[in-house]
Amino acid sequence: MAEKILIIDDDVDTLKLVGLMLQKQGYAICAASNGALGLAKALEERPDLILLDVMMPDMDGYEVTRRLRRNPVTASTPILMFTAKTQLDDKVTGFESGADDYLTKPTHPNELQAHVRALLARSPKKDAGNAVAAPKEQRSLVVGVLSARGGLGVSSVAVNLAAAIYSRMQTDVILAELTPGQGSLGLDLGVPNQKGLNELLQCNPAEVTREKVQSALLAHNSGLKLLLASENPRDAVLTAQAQNYEAIVGRLATLARFVILDLGSALPLSTQKILPLCNDRIVVVEGFNNVIYHSKLLIDAMVSMQIDRRGILAALNNRQRSEAQVPSSQAQDMLGHPISIIFTPAPELFLQSVRTKMPAVIAQPSNMTSQQFIKMADLILEREKAR
């Protein structure tokens, strides 16, 4: 089988010229026109070598290299930086970022081919007969967050879990708010009026391509990639597009190492389609009798859908200080399901989060409740290692 080379360059002429030249040498070529697409292609295509430009508008080659090196799937993939930046400091930065080789433009085709051959000869082969195997491809971790009824803090749990995982792993994390007409995260994070989810839900399911889903993602200053729901209540009718939801989540799972889904409340058909695609499902509960009762019904309904109880985590989210709340041990007995994490009330923390347009774990990482979100992230990561 021909060795595969991924070319990441925003210059279309370079993509065509270099791609054609390497194809004539017998290599299989795939291409990406910017850094974000390049990261996604690297995970999808698993190339034998990456030929990477430095000067790109959305994400430069140095940052692309750092992210590739942080991901276990691409940590050992050879990277050849091919760029017009000729200064010694530029080369040093390239090697410090994790590049294996550095070649300046313009160069003679024979020189480029020699560098490519040398890198491929030094890298471990992916065939079964080689003593050193390439890293095993890891499946994306998909976590759904939901509650039995609205107003229990599902969005707060989802965004802070995503931010905590990002702070721990420093790799791509997608947060998808899948509740059209009820969007709140865009307002909280300072990016309102997002239409990406609406467009994906309004098209034919067959048109929900990987590229289309990727283009709907928004890069946030927190480091997260966001797919946000609209705030307009009229858009709630889009929750009926169950097939589109299934396609969206399937595509998201190919675009990042971690995907956190804000599924809102109850079990509409769209959520029923999504839950089997998740590795873990977090049910957000509050310590009041009626809420616990409804949450028990929700968990029982999920189990009746052939979802393993071990894949359901209960999070007790005590959002206010109240003597009327049921103690956690009693709440667990009433729920008939283990409570994995308890969040203490922290209204000031979340007010600060909204003011700064950042998740709470980033706004005040040392806060006790922020640490509880980080503890939940660690629990999710430990469960993933055990699978």
Q: Are residues 226 and 372 in the same domain?
A: yes
In a domain, 182, yes or no: yes
Against a cut of 0.85, is the pTM above it?
A: no
Range of the domain at 116: 4-122
Q: Above 80 in pLDDT, residue 288?
A: yes
Residues 116, 172 share a domain: no
Distance CA 176, CA 231 (A): 14
The answer to which of 106-115, 189-198, 263-272 has the lowest mean pLDDT is: 106-115
How many domains does the chain fold into? 2
Q: In what order do the strands lie in the sheet with 79-83?
A: 28-32, 4-8, 49-52, 79-83, 101-104
Closest CA relative to residue 56, chosen from 36, 29, 70 = 36
Residue 303: pLDDT band with limits 50, 70, 90: very high
382 plus 355 within the same structural domain: yes
Collect all residues with Cβ–Cβ distance below 8 Å to 325 and sequence separation of at least 6: 286, 287, 288, 318
Nearest to 285 by CA among 245, 330, 219: 330
Q: Same structural domain for residues 360 and 272? A: yes
Indicate the pairing of strand 225-227 with strand 218-219. Answer: antiparallel
Helix (H, G, I), strand (E, B) or coil at 240: helix
H or E segment to which residue 141 belongs: strand 141-147
Please write the tens of the pLDDT for every residue from 148-200: 999 999 999 999 999 999 999 989 999 999 999 999 999 999 999 999 999 99
Q: How confident is the model at residue 294 (pLDDT cuts 50, 70, 90)?
A: very high
Task: Check residue 127 and give its pLDDT.
Answer: 44
